[in-house]
Structure 1
Amino acid sequence: MNQVDEIARSAPFNLSLVRAKLEELFELDPADELSVRLLAGGRSNLTFELASSGRKWILRRPPIGHRLETAHDMSREVAVQRALANSPVPVPRIVFADDDAGHAGGNYYVMDKIEGEVLRTDGDFAEVESTQRQPLSFAYIDCLSALHTRDHTALGLGTFGRPAGFLDRQVRRWTKQLTASKSRELPLLERLGRQLGEQVPASSQSAIVHGDFRFDNMIAQVADQPRIAAVLDWEMSTIGDPLTDLGLVHLFWSGWEGIDNPIAGTPSTHAAYPSFDELVERYASTTGFDVSELGWYSSFAFYKMAVILEGIHLRFINGETVGDGFENIGTMVQPLAERGVAALP
């Protein structure tokens, strides 16, 4: 029996209680079996597939062990996904949520499983037909544009975040997270945090921010007309400056190219995918947003990712991670800090 099988058999939540709730909501027939398995990926929150003979659901709960303050908030994911239901931004239906679940890290939720492909590795990006790569990429950036141009107040998210002073608070927050999650001395990363705080741009718009908008946080359906079927992993979502999302898109699309990276593939390294500049041009045209100070946002993205990975590295060395692929996470922190410093205007 491998590690994933062992985790599935002793899942860190009470499967009997979850099953009872599914039956209560007429989602699951009492006579049907319910299986559980840990899904690949999810180096932050734990993500499980629940399956009956004819249905599949996804259960998400916080990680085991050390957690960054304010991170891994399942209630945020639930709130924003419910608000975006039936909007141009595709999200799975929330089946139920429990905000006081001692058996599942405090809170968890269950949602429908959306079928499609998760493009996570360079191999995944390479398997997409060359003629489908541009339309799929444009569907990806158009989905971000759709998110950022939603009226969050009309969707009931008027108090979901505090857009005033958002960037200053973000720099302070991630600096505080770094202090809480360091396992070693990281002077360059600390310097980057100080420089970001000294050069915060004036934010001119506010929107729903996803906080981790990359291909392996969504379900793609790659066919004659490629589309994004669902956007997932909303734990960092808030109301704030939308260009923080675009800065992260830069990191995921091309910014970490050449860094030994076990997390996700880099689309720009494969032929026929648009350049990041092409995505920015399309995004700016669709949203009407000023992207002239994008360099700061890209630098902040490197900083934020480095802090997140340092927290994961701390959990790894403390023996608190679940699954494989964590042993090299810590080696990414220093090169990300270097690129963050280089990206500053």
Structure 2
Amino acid sequence: MTDQAVTAPSLDTESLSRWMDAQGLPGAGERAQARALTGGSQNELFEITRGGEKMALRRPPSYGVEGRAKVLMREARLLKALAGTDVPHAALRGVTDDESVIGSPFYLMDLVDGWSPMGAGWIAPFDTDFDARGGLAIELVDGAAKMARVDWKARGLEGFGKPEGFLERQVDRWLSHLSTFKFRDLPGLDETAKWLSEHIPSTFEPGIMHGDYQFANVMYRHGKPAELAAIIDWEMATIGDPLLDLGWVLVAWSPEGDAMQHARYLDYTGMPSRAAMLEHYAKVSGRDVSAVDYYVVLARFKLAIVLEASVARHAKGEADDRVARFGPIALELMEFAASLSRTTSYR
């Protein structure tokens, strides 16, 4: 969620205001003010001001994407479940699947006062203060660790995902997905898939996982010391193996990731060591991180296929030129997934 205005899609603020009145939200009787925001890539986002408070409204895109409303309701369910936990998130204010209110399901949440490195990279003081920048990484992994220790059953998330056999399903699921659009070879694909299938950790403790956990999907509070303000964009969240979120964080981490030329989208100067990241995660989450290389390989394998889907759409003329840059990233991720599988001590 950023404060950059864009051309505003239509939003029936009169009907929204009546609904807010019925929910007992701030500013009873007032007409809500709405402003479209950028933030997230799958849904529309609005800043809603009423009763002297600012909230964010999230709804499916107006052009319609099959299943998007269902995903949105899942996000709202998860945010509701996180209330009262120490996981940084935007608090849920209200949710409805009644399309008669504004023409689509939606939910309201707190508007987070913070910044994202996906805007213009590191902002002051983190652009020049490398010690402070390192704190951003520790806060990132701290958020993943706090998610991992939430008692998801006690939070009403039974049925939110299918944790049984989660790891066993991953390779076949993503190879099946790739088969629907594959248009070129991904060197290292077969080798990585075979290694992942043969080295599945024997046990894991199910927990909440974000599914796309990285710098791009968190917001920080302004100024130092570094403090995570909120984890955002929960479209891929499920109950699975939280260690995959840790693997996602470490996809391009030093020292091995230093050789990557395309997959890094931020300057890693000043970042803490991999060992320090693992130590913090283990301490906060209480989880064993000895198999972390498996999860890094799996994260690279999965991300390469996710990005390759966009590359394939671009090759067919069905996506704009901005996704063309994913082409070399997908190739590099699969290459490095295979190379790590050959050299890791995890067996």
Task: Give the match for residue 300 of structure 2.
Answer: 302
Partners in 1 of 2:316 and 2:19 — Cα distance? 34
Task: Give the match for residue 138 of structure 1.
Answer: 138
Moved more, 278-287 or 119-128: 119-128
Task: Give the match for residue 247 of structure 1.
Answer: 247
Deviation digits for residues 287-330 of structure 1, max 9, x if unmatched?
332222222211111111112212333555667669x8434223
Asked if 1 retains the 8 angstrom alpha-carbon contact of 2:207 and 2:240, the reply is yes
Moved more, 141-150 or 189-198: 189-198
Partners in 2 of 1:169 and 1:71 — Cα distance? 25
Aligned to 1:196, the other structure's residue is in SS state helix
CA RMSD of aligned residues (A): 3.6
- Displacement of 1:338 in angstroms is 0.8
User: Cα–Cα, structure 1 residues 202 and 57, in superposed 2: closer, same or farther, change >3 Å?
Assistant: same
* More relative contact order, 1 or 2 (CA 8 Å, 6+ apart): 1
Residue 80 of structure 1 aligns to which amino acid in structure 2? L
> Aligned pair count?
332
Question: What runs of 5+ residues in structure 1 fail to find an aligned partner?
Answer: none
TM-score by length of 2: 0.79
Task: Give the match for residue 163 of structure 1.
Answer: 163
Within 5 Å, give how 1:5-44 maps onto structure 2. 8-10=7-9, 17-18=15-16, 20-25=18-23, 26-27=25-26, 32=31, 34-40=33-39, 42-43=40-41
- Displacement of 1:15 in angstroms is 6.2
Deviation digits for residues 245-302 of structure 1, max 9, x if unmatched?
11101015454864335x8425xx212x212221012212333322222222111111
Aligned to 1:188, the other structure's residue is in SS state coil
Partners in 1 of 2:317 and 2:94 — Cα distance? 31
Verify: 1:326 aligned to 2:323, yes or no: yes
Residue 278 of structure 1 aligns to which amino acid in structure 2? A
Deviation digits for residues 87-130 of structure 1, max 9, x if unmatched?
11122122233346499997442322110121226731674133
Partners in 2 of 1:264 and 1:270 — Cα distance? 12
Task: Give the match for residue 218 of structure 2.
Answer: 218
User: Cα–Cα, structure 1 residues 282 and 68, in superposed 2: closer, same or farther, change >3 Å?
Assistant: farther
TM-score by length of 1: 0.80
User: Cα–Cα, structure 1 residues 124 and 294, in superposed 2: closer, same or farther, change >3 Å?
Assistant: same
Moved more, 118-127 or 297-306: 118-127
User: Cα–Cα, structure 1 residues 300 and 65, in superposed 2: closer, same or farther, change >3 Å?
Assistant: farther
User: Cα–Cα, structure 1 residues 224 and 343, in superposed 2: closer, same or farther, change >3 Å?
Assistant: same
Verify: 1:265 aligned to 2:263, yes or no: no
- Displacement of 1:158 in angstroms is 3.1
Task: Give the match for residue 79 of structure 1.
Answer: 77
Task: Give the match for residue 236 of structure 1.
Answer: 236
Deviation digits for residues 37-58 of structure 1, max 9, x if unmatched?
2405x33x12423243744333
Pick the structure with greater CA Rg: 2
Question: What runs of 5+ residues in structure 2 fail to find an aligned partner?
Answer: none
Verify: 1:336 aligned to 2:310, yes or no: no
User: Cα–Cα, structure 1 residues 289 and 9, in superposed 2: closer, same or farther, change >3 Å?
Assistant: closer
Percent pairwise identity = 29
